[in-house]
Amino acid sequence: MKQALVIVSFGTSVPAARKSIDAVTRAMAACMPEADLFLALTSPTIRRKLRARGEQAFSLEEILEALAGYDRVVVQPTHLLYGIEYDRIRETVAAFARRLPGLVLGTPLLAGTEDLQALAGILLEAHPRSGEAMVLMGHGTEHFANLVYPAFQTVLRLRGCSDVYVGTVEGWPGIGDVIDQLKADGVKKALLVPMMLVAGDHACNDMAGLEPDSWKNQLEAQGIAVRCHLEGLGSLEAVQALYCRHLRML
Ligand code: CO
């Protein structure tokens, strides 16, 4: 049986951030050693930037076009949640269903309650702290799936962790909502961690950047001492294993 594994990511133009995507890709490829590996990037801007640097960069359509003759094609997004991007991937996959009868689509990393509980355990173990709150920076979306972020804070509360806060750059709750909670709870020290696959532009600039409105500077303006962790979730082995668990369920 001829098999293909197509890993789909948004992509990143920050070279140092790519190691998180690469690590997740390697782990998933190792779960399907019999499959030929293909990488698709959903962001046209990032594809353009990479091509301008002389690197190869393909959309999911371009890759699926080339996979006629494969008996089984597994499309696995590296996306954290169901959302606008995932909906588009699903539409593309549906459009190829007749041409590629063995085509299946994997779920995002956080596809249900168990995944949120697993990630909560992973993050608590990865970032041992004492007397320091943890503030997670998610991306956020207008999509209904944005509810994963406040739900994740609730998952942590229900485990007894009242010192972990979840905010988003582009969705709800925002950094203002997080600061209100930090002040109400009398937090004096905080560790900032991206709740994103990669520590790319958002983590480097919106979270840890030098601008006065970066999360780091907004927290420091409130008298909170801040430490920044500049690594994406994809760098954590336990997160790579969670992606692989999803892949094996297909
Ligand atoms: Co963004």
Q: pLDDT tens across 157-174, in order? A: 999 999 999 999 999 999
Residue 79 a catalytic site member: no
Taking 90 as the threshold, does the pLDDT of residue 89 lie above it? Answer: yes
C-alpha 100 to ligand 1 mean position (Å) = 32
* Cα gap 2→70, rounded to integer Å: 5
Helix, strand, or coil (residue 101): coil
* Cα gap 202→25, rounded to integer Å: 21
**pLDDT at residue number 59:** 98
In our burial notation (b when 16+ CB lie closer than 10 A, e otherwise), range 33-49 reads eebeebbbbbbeebbee
196-245 pLDDT, tens digit each? 999 999 999 999 999 999 999 999 999 999 999 999 999 999 999 999 99
The residue annotated as part of the active site, out of 139, 143, 202, 229, is 139
Evaluate whether 225 touches 216 at the Cβ level (below 8 Å).
Answer: no
C-alpha 121 to ligand 1 mean position (Å) = 26
Q: Is the peptide bond before 150 cis (omega within 30 degrees of 0)?
A: no
C-alpha 211 to ligand 1 mean position (Å) = 17
Evaluate whether 43 touches 25 at the Cβ level (below 8 Å).
Answer: no
C-alpha 170 to ligand 1 mean position (Å) = 7
Q: Name 80's Cβ contacts closer than 8 Å, sequence gap at least 6.
A: 108, 109, 110, 138, 139, 148, 195, 196, 197, 233
Mean pLDDT of the chain: 96
C-alpha 200 to ligand 1 mean position (Å) = 10
